[in-house]
Structure 1
Amino acid sequence: MINADPSELDKFSQLAHRWWDPTSEFKPLHEINPLRLEWIDRLAALSGKKVLDIGCGGGILAEAMAGKGADVTGIDLSDKALGVARLHLLESGCKVDYRKTSAEELADAEAGTFDVVTCMEMLEHVPDPSSVVAACAALVKPGGHVFFSTINRNPKAYLFAVIGAEYVLKMLPKGTHEYAKFIKPSDLSRWAVSVGLPPDELIGMSYNLLTQRYSLGADTSVNYLMHTVRVA
């Protein structure tokens, strides 16, 4: 069985045509992309690396990593999102290999293939996130880098990521996130360690209501990113 929720795929497929509109429901992704790109590049030096972006959607991060000189493969299970991603390559001139497959399926076929694996804003949308973490470990080369980003599970995260972002500020469509699927850093760390991906860095991402800007810092209480390195 594919590790995917049909309702989640349908939700994002319905919005796929708006992936590259920086004023659309995907505005937050466009705004955080420079931050997460520079963080990834600082830790993994993307130029010349073979990179896999899991849950690539319309390709915002995948294209940006290709722009840094990486050889990027992007995978997703949404035909519509992948269609938009491929069309955007005609505008940008970037080179990304987009494929419709799951992380688990690709791990069976291409284990130990990639220098860098990214899985950003995706784990909180699948039925079994630990299975995706295990697939990431299988896909990356020994000594390679795996990056995750997701949302913490606590009352503050519910207030900010669901009530605030979806209902008050309307930064995201209502129903984008389900609180029960949020993931504590301790759980993500445990899953990662169990498959040979000891965490190397944990960092938070915060939104300032006054400046309306995102920043990386020590506060991991809502959004956070984790860098792991595959045990050789």
Structure 2
Amino acid sequence: MNRWDSKGPFKPLHVMNPTRLAFIAPLFVTFRTHDRRSWLGSVPKWFVGGLSSETVSALLPSPPLRRWVAGVVPLHVMNPTRLAFIRSTLCRHFGKDPNSARPFEGLKIVDVGCGGGILSEPLARMGATVTGVDAVEKNIKIACIHAVWSFSYDLDPMTSTIEYCCTTAEKLVEEDRKFDAVIALEVIEHVANPAEFCKSLAALTVPDGATIISTINRSMRSYAAAIVAAEYLLHWLPKGTHEWSSFLTPEELVLILQRANITVREMAGFVYSPLTGRWSLSDDIRVNFIAFGTKNCQ
């Protein structure tokens, strides 16, 4: 069988080919060129956080965008485990298929304290309409740049749909923003008033919506693991990243959320294996743990 015979069995593909190539060719010309300034000129200013195209150009050609990875390697390693919990709980609560490629289709999710977008990007790939917020402007700029990089190098259109904002949960409440799911991972231990922070998260959540929070337990084991080991021995995190007195016990978090009108439905621990270099979900909540709750309908 001659597949190159334009009049043979493969005639439909031959007829379609010019149209397919008309779409494909410009992508390679635009995205694979070493000089991306012509393409960056069309990127909305909000998308790169006001950075000049020269600055973005200097960062983009250095995969895997070292600034996105530097200093947050532990979060990258933990991310698949965090996402497994999020996927499982949200799909169960909203009646979604966890085996679907886009299980969060139709859900509006806000990633509070999004940092460089480590969690926001996979949430968007799973179909959610994602808003990533962070109070640190540099984090938002890095998140925007990485989203552009992902779109440029990986042709990943989903990262371009993320709305990144340099703001706080409290300001989103003032804007009367509402979301199906509110997620704040490794954030609450850094805020001055956890109770007020949780009230803001609750205010952002629609009735019967979901709230997911992860943090570190305040225990002697967590002091040894999250501070002594992670910051001083293994150098996973900069020294002084965490303050042990700011950690919350699971019981304290449940009570704070309850007072904010959120009922905790499920909780799990994160356990690290030095043999495999991976994290896994566990019933052990003595150090890192994550909680899933729902906002009570009133």
Q: TM-score, normalised by structure 1?
A: 0.88
1:185-220 deviations in Å (ceiling 9; x for gaps): 111100101111010001000111222211111000
1:141-176 per-position Cα deviation (integer Å, ceiling 9, x unaligned) = 001100000000011110010001111112111111
Amino acid at match of 1:65: L
For residues 83 and 257 of structure 2, the distance between their equivalents in structure 1, rounded to whole angstroms, comes to 21
**Which residue pairs with 1:11 in the alignment?**
none
Letter in 1 for 2:68: W
Contact 1:19/1:26 (<8 A) preserved = no
Residue in structure 1 matched with residue 82 of structure 2 by the alignment = 36
User: In the alignment, which residue of structure 2 is the partner of 1:64?
Assistant: 122
In structure 1, list runs of 5 or more residues that go unmatched: 1-16
Distance in 1, matches of 2:275 and 2:88, equals: 28
Is the aligned partner of 1:104 residue 2:170? yes
- Given that 1:53 and 1:73 are in contact with CA atoms closer than 8 Å, whether structure 2 keeps it comes out as yes
What is the percentage of aligned positions where both structures have the same residue?
38
What is the CA–CA distance in structure 2 between the aligned matches of 1:212 and 1:72, rounded to whole Å? 29
8 Å CA contact 1:54–1:103 kept in 2: the answer is: yes
1:19, distance to aligned residue in structure 2 (A):
4.9
SS in structure 1 of the partner of residue 182 of structure 2: strand
Mapping for residues 62-101 of structure 1, pairs under 5 Å: 62-93=120-151, 94=159, 95-101=161-167
Q: Distance in 1 between matches of 2:105 and 2:225?
A: 35
| Number of equivalent positions | 213
Unaligned stretches of 5+ residues in structure 2: 1-64, 92-103, 152-158
The one-letter code matched in structure 1 to 2:73 is K
Instruction: Determine if the alignment matches structure 1 residue 47 to structure 2 residue 112.
Output: no
Aligned to 1:20: 68
Q: Could you tell me whether the CA contact under 8 Å between 1:18 and 1:26 is conserved in 2?
A: no
Of 156-165 and 202-211, more deviation after overlay is shown by: 202-211
**TM-score normalized by the length of structure 2:** 0.69
Letter in 2 for 1:48: G
SS in 2 for 1:149: strand
CA RMSD of aligned residues (A): 1.3
- Determine which of 175, 182, 185 is the counterpart of 1:117: 182
Contact kept in structure 2, 1:49 and 1:70, CA below 8 Å: yes
Q: Which has the higher strand share?
A: 1
Higher normalized contact order (CA 8 Å, seq sep 6+, divided by chain length)? 1
The alpha carbon displacement at 1:18 in A equals 5.1
Letter in 2 for 1:108: E
Question: What's the offset of the Cα at 1:47?
Answer: 2.3
